[in-house]
C-alpha cells in the first residue's frame, strides 16, 4: 500500500529534483529540497484534517482530490496565487505581474510580503473558525477533557464561534495591525476587511457542504427506514459522499489547503524569491501531504488513533493565532512547524496509551458512549 499511495510522490520528487538540478544546478536542487521539507513540516496537521473530511467522500472524489486537487494546490496556490496577490495589491495587470515576478524578483518579493497582513488575517480567521467549531462540538471522544467538556457545553450557544472570531479579529486590528511588520504601517482596515472575508468564506463553503451532507444522510435514512452506517470498501475507506455534497466538501478541502499554504508561501521567500523554484519545491511537499491524506484514509488511522484529529485541530488553532501575530511580529517557520508536529505527536501518543489500556490497536466500531482520555 505504501508504494501504491506514495508512488506518484516519489516519482514527482525524483523528476522535480532532477529538473531543479538541470535548470539551477546544485544550489537550485538544494533549495527545492529544503522548500519541500518546509512544506511537509508546516502542513502535516493539514493531512490529518483533510483525512477526516476525505474519508466521508467516495472513491471517485478521493481521486479528484489527488488529481485536480493537486493541480490547484501546486499551480493555483504555489504559483498563481502570489502573482494574483501582487496584481491586486500593486494594481497591475496579470501580464505585468508575471513579468515582475520573473524579471524583478526583489520588488515582487516586497509586494508579496507587503500583502502579508491581509493574507494572514484571511487565513488566520478561517483556520480559527475550523478550530472553534471543532472545540465547541459535543464529541464521543475527548482528548483534553478538562478543556473540551466545558467548551462543548459553551458550544450550545448559537453562533458562539462566530462571535469569538469577530472579537479576535477586532482585537487584532486594534493591536498588531496598527504597526504591521516590514514597515507596512497601519493595516487595521485591511486586516478587518480580510478577516471578515475569511469568516464569510468559511461560513459559505462549510455551510453549503454541511447542508448537502446532512441532506444526503436524510435521504439515505428515508430510503432505508433507519440510520445507515457508512459502508467501507476493501481499503478501509468509507464509501460516502458523492454528487453535490462531495463537490462542496471538495471545495471546502481546497479552501482549507489554501489557508494552510499561506504561511508556507510567505515563509518560502526567506529561502528564495524565484517563483518557479518556490512552486516546484512547495509543490513536491504538497504532493506528499496529499498522499499522506489518502494513506490515513485507506489505513483507517483516524478510527484507530482517535485523538489524532484533536491534536490536528489544536495545531490549527495554534497556527491561526501564529498567523495573526505575524501581522506585526516575525515568527520563524521552524517554530510553526514544530508546534503542529508536537501537538499531533502528543495526540498520537495518547491514542496509543488508550488503545493499550483497552487491549486493542484501535476502535473502528460504533461509538455509543462517551470516551475520555482522562487528561
Mean pLDDT is lowest, of 20-24, 29-33, 44-48, for: 44-48
359: left (phi over 0), alpha (psi -120 to 50) or beta: left
Say yes or no to pLDDT of 66 above 90: no
Handedness of CA 157, 221, 142, 129 (dihedral sign): negative
Mean pLDDT of all residues in 286-296: 83
Q: What is the model's pLDDT at position 224?
A: 53
Separation between Cα atoms, residue 202 and residue 130, nearest integer Å: 8
Residues in the chain: 375
Between 200 and 272, the more confident residue is 200
Q: Are strands 141-142 and 371-372 parallel, antiparallel or unpaired?
A: parallel
For the chain, the structural domain boundaries read: 2-372
Between 86 and 375, the more confident residue is 86
What's the chain look like in SS3?
A: CHHHHHHHHHHHHHHHHHHHHHHHHHHHHHHHHHHHHHHHHHHHHHHHHHHHHHCCECHHHHHHHHHHHHHHHHHHHHHHHHHHHHHHHCCCCHHHHHHHHHHCHHHHHHHHHHCHHHHHHHHHHHHHHHHHHHHCCCCCEECCHHHHHHHHHHCCCCCHHHHHHHHHHHHHHHCHHHHECCCCECCHHHHHHHHHHHHHHHHHHHHHHHHHHHHHHHHHHHHHCCCCCCEECCCCCEECECHHHHHHHHHHHHHHHHHHHHHHHHHHCCCCCCHHHHHHHHHHHHHHHHHHHHHHHHHCHHHHCCCHHHHHHHHHHHHHHHHHHCCCCCCCHHHHHHHHHHHHHHHHHHHHHHHHHCCCCCCCCCCCCCEECCC
Say yes or no to pLDDT of 229 above 50: no
Q: What is the model's pLDDT at position 215?
A: 67
- Where residue 227 falls among pLDDT bands split at 50, 70, 90? very low
Cβ atoms of 85 and 117 within 8 Å: the answer is: no
- Where residue 120 falls among pLDDT bands split at 50, 70, 90? confident
- Where residue 162 falls among pLDDT bands split at 50, 70, 90? very high
C-alpha cell recorded at residue 218? 436524510
Say yes or no to pLDDT of 165 above 90: yes
Which range, 169-178, 279-288, 298-307, 324-333, is most confident? Answer: 169-178
Instruction: Read off the pLDDT of residues 313-336 as tens digits, 9 standing for 90 and up.
Output: 898 888 889 889 988 888 877 787
Separation between Cα atoms, residue 287 and residue 70, nearest integer Å: 7
Say yes or no to pLDDT of 166 above 90: yes
Say yes or no to pLDDT of 364 above 60: no
C-alpha cell recorded at residue 29? 536542487
Cβ atoms of 20 and 277 within 8 Å: the answer is: yes
Separation between Cα atoms, residue 217 and residue 6, nearest integer Å: 32
Q: Which residue is listed with cell 453549503?
A: 208
Q: What is the model's pLDDT at position 43?
A: 72
Separation between Cα atoms, residue 8 and residue 287, nearest integer Å: 8
Separation between Cα atoms, residue 12 and residue 294, nearest integer Å: 17
Q: What is the model's pLDDT at position 235?
A: 37
Between 6 and 194, the more confident residue is 194
Mean pLDDT of all residues in 259-271: 71
- Where residue 192 falls among pLDDT bands split at 50, 70, 90? very high
Q: Residue 278: CA atoms inside 13 Å, Cβ hemisphere, count?
A: 28
Beta bridge partners of 185: 180
What phi and psi values does residue 185 have, to the nearest 5 degrees?
A: 80, -155
Mean pLDDT of all residues in 340-351: 88
Say yes or no to pLDDT of 295 above 90: no
Say yes or no to pLDDT of 375 above 80: no
Q: What is the model's pLDDT at position 200?
A: 92
Q: What is the model's pLDDT at position 5?
A: 75
Say yes or no to pLDDT of 249 above 50: yes
Mean pLDDT of all residues in 101-127: 84
**Average pLDDT of the chain to the nearest whole number:** 79
> 71: which residues sit within 8 A by CB, 6+ positions away?
none
Q: What is the model's pLDDT at position 239?
A: 45
Q: What is the model's pLDDT at position 218?
A: 65
- Least Cα distance to 286 among 82, 49, 48, 39 occurs for 39
Between 368 and 27, the more confident residue is 27
Mean pLDDT is lowest, of 85-89, 156-160, 173-177, 364-368, for: 364-368
pTM of the model: 0.77
Amino acid at each position: 500500500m505504501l508504494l501504491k499511495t506514495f508512488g506518484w510522490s516519489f516519482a514527482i520528487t525524483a523528476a522535480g529534483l532532477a529538473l531543479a538540478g538541470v535548470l539551477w544546478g546544485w544550489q537550485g536542487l538544494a533549495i527545492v529540497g529544503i522548500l519541500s521539507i518546509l512544506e511537509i513540516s508546516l502542513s502535516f496537521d493539514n493531512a490529518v484534517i483533510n483525512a477526516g473530511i476525505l474519508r466521508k467522500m467516495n472513491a471517485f472524489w478521493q481521486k479528484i482530490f489527488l488529481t485536480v486537487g493537486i493541480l490547484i494546490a501546486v499551480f493555483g496556490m504555489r504559483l498563481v496565487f502570489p502573482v494574483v496577490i501582487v496584481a491586486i495589491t500593486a494594481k497591475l495587470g496579470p501580464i505585468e505581474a508575471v513579468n515582475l515576478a520573473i524579471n524583478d524578483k526583489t520588488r515582487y518579493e516586497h509586494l508579496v510580503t507587503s500583502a502579508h497582513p491581509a493574507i494572514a488575517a484571511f487565513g488566520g480567521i478561517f483556520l480559527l473558525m475550523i478550530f472553534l467549531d471543532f472545540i465547541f462540538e459535543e464529541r464521543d471522544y475527548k482528548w483534553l477533557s478538562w478543556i473540551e467538556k466545558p467548551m462543548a457545553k459553551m458550544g450550545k450557544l448559537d453562533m458562539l464561534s462566530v462571535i469569538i472570531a469577530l472579537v479576535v479579529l477586532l482585537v487584532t486590528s486594534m493591536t498588531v495591525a496598527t504597526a504591521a511588520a516590514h514597515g507596512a504601517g497601519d493595516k487595521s482596515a485591511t486586516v478587518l476587511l480580510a478577516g471578515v472575508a475569511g469568516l464569510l468564506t468559511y461560513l459559505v463553503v462549510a455551510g453549503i457542504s454541511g447542508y448537502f451532507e446532512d441532506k444526503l444522510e436524510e435521504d439515505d435514512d428515508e430510503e432505508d427506514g433507519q440510520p445507515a452506517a457508512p459502508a467501507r470498501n476493501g481499503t478501509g475507506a468509507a464509501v460516502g459522499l458523492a454528487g453535490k455534497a462531495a463537490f462542496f466538501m471538495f471545495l471546502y478541502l481546497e479552501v482549507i489547503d489554501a489557508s494552510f499554504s499561506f504561511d508556507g508561501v510567505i515563509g518560502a521567500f526567506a529561502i528564495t524569491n524565484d517563483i518557479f523554484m518556490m512552486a516546484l519545491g512547495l509543490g513536491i511537499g504538497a504532493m506528499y501531504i496529499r498522499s499522506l491524506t489518502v494513506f490515513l484514509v485507506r489505513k483507517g488511522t483516524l478510527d484507530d488513533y482517535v485523538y489524532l484529529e484533536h491534536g490536528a485541530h489544536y495545531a490549527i488553532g495554534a497556527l491561526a493565532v501564529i498567523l495573526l501575530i505575524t501581522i506585526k511580529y516575525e515568527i520563524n517557520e521552524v517554530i510553526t512547524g514544530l508546534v503542529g508536529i508536537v501537538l499531533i505527536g502528543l495526540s498520537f501518543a495518547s491514542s496509543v496509551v488508550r488503545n493499550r489500556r483497552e487491549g486493542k490497536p484501535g476502535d473502528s466500531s460504533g461509538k455509543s458512549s462517551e470516551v475520555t482520555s482522562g487528561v
